[in-house]
Amino acid sequence: MRRSGSPFIGTGIVLAKEAADQLSGIRMVVIEALVFLIALVLAWFSTATIRESIGQSPFLFLRLLTMAPDPIPFSFIDTVGLVTPVIAIALGFDAINAEFNQRTLSRILAQPIYRDALLLGKFLARLLALAIALLSLWLLVLGVGFLRLGLPPSGEELVRMLGFLVATIAYGGVWLAVAFLFSILFRAPATAALAALGLWLVFSFFWSLVIKPLAATLIAGPPEDIFGPNLAYIQTSQALDRISPNTLYAEIALALLQPATRTLGPVFISQLRGALLGAPLPASQSFILVWPQLTGLIAAMILIFAAGYVVFQRQEIRA
């Protein structure tokens, strides 16, 4: 028997209900309190360092995000890159399996709501909650910088920071989709959370240091041969490295928040002829430089969600 009407009828209702639950839940309050505290401390120490060296850089607000102030050994973008996947996984690891365990999924689907609308509404609600959290964090750092530095960001700085915010939301969306997929595959929320965190740890710490060099050596040979550096190894290593969403996000942050960045791959000496080394690129050129990485993050989020969608459609749901 064919379904009548759009399969996404009721998506808005599910989205509104789930978003309200996520934003008012104690889990989100605790996560946001910790993240905001860390960001506030980082922004305070960074502005103190910038005020001591004011006039040495035309991009003061970009330095606010990229510098590691004393005595803290990491920058704002390092912190965001670390906590965004954790927040996304915390939001999505029990999205579906909790409904199975509470035996409420069959009751929800007994209403005039299809599985399509339920899954999409839950995902969009959590993505919205993540975007609101990251936007609040971005505005907090911007406000602290404005109050402490006494001047607003320039138009180019604002555009670059907005691009960085969009990339951060897309990066969080990838890990939210991963958490959703494991929430569908595993009935135990703890198992889904551990699987998602384990995959994040693999891409964060082991992919570039262990897995990528071994795979590149097996595919293209050793890093160096009798003629010098192995170009095939370098290209293969870079392609394997960009499988990781962490690498894509790091390259976007590098190009957008450090305007002097002109390339994100290996550069030959012949390509440097005529280039003004150290001169900042216009914001439009930086966006062109990172467009493949940003597209890759969005595509990865859609593909992982689509995989979870297919699995969820094939699952049997009993009362």
Q: How confident is the model at residue 271 (pLDDT cuts 50, 70, 90)?
A: very low
Q: What does the longest C-alpha to C-alpha distance in the chain come to?
A: 72
Report which residue type is found at 207: W
Q: Is residue 2 part of a domain?
A: no
Tokens representing 182 are 């494991």
Q: Is residue 202 part of a domain?
A: yes
Phi-psi domain of 221 (left: phi exceeds 0; alpha: psi -120 through 50; beta: other) = left
Cβ–Cβ < 8 Å for 246, 293: no
Q: Where are any strands of DSSP class E within 107-237?
A: 224-225, 228-229
pLDDT digits 0-9 by tens, 295-318: 999 999 999 999 999 998 887 776
Query: Whose CA is closest to 231, among 265, 260, 203, 264?
Result: 265
Using DSSP, state whether 33 is helix, strand or coil.
Answer: helix
Cβ–Cβ < 8 Å for 177, 304: yes
User: DSSP characters for 81-147?
Assistant: HHHHHHHHHHHHTTTTHHHHHTT-HHHHHHSS--HHHHHHHHHHHHHHHHHHHHHHHHHHHHHHHHH
Q: Is residue 1 part of a domain?
A: no
Residues, the chain, total?
319
Q: Is residue 236 part of a domain?
A: yes
Tokens representing 235 are 């290209």
Phi, psi of 186, deg, nearest 5: -115, 135
Using DSSP, state whether 229 is helix, strand or coil.
Answer: strand
Q: How confident is the model at residue 270 (pLDDT cuts 50, 70, 90)?
A: very low
Q: Is residue 255 part of a domain?
A: yes
Q: Is the pLDDT of residue 125 over 80?
A: yes
Query: Whose CA is closest to 134, among 254, 277, 35?
Result: 35
Average pLDDT, rounded, for the chain:
82
Alpha-carbon distance of 214 to 227, in angstroms, equals 21
Q: Is residue 150 part of a domain?
A: yes
What percent of the chain is modeled with pLDDT above 90? 26
- What is the pLDDT at residue 201? 92
Tokens representing 116 are 């399509």
Residue 217: is it exposed, middle or buried by C-beta count within 10 angstroms (0-12/13-18/19+)?
Answer: middle
> Structural domain tally of the chain?
1
* Residue with tokens 């969608």, as numbered in its chain: 309
Q: Which of 41-45, 180-184, 202-206, 238-242 has the highest mean pLDDT?
A: 180-184
How is residue 318 annotated by DSSP? -
pLDDT digits 0-9 by tens, 15-51: 888 888 888 878 888 877 877 887 788 778 777 777 7
Alpha-carbon distance of 45 to 69, in angstroms, equals 6
Q: What is the mean pLDDT of residues 3-24?
A: 75
Residues 6+ apart with CB under 8 A from 44: 144, 148
Is omega for the bond preceding 71 within 30 degrees of 0, making it cis?
Answer: yes
Q: Is residue 205 part of a domain?
A: yes
The residue segments making up the domain with residue 306 are: 11-266+276-314
Q: What is the mean pLDDT of residues 238-267?
A: 84
- What is the pLDDT at residue 302? 95
- What is the pLDDT at residue 1? 43
Q: Is residue 283 part of a domain?
A: yes
Q: What is the mean pLDDT of residues 181-209?
A: 90
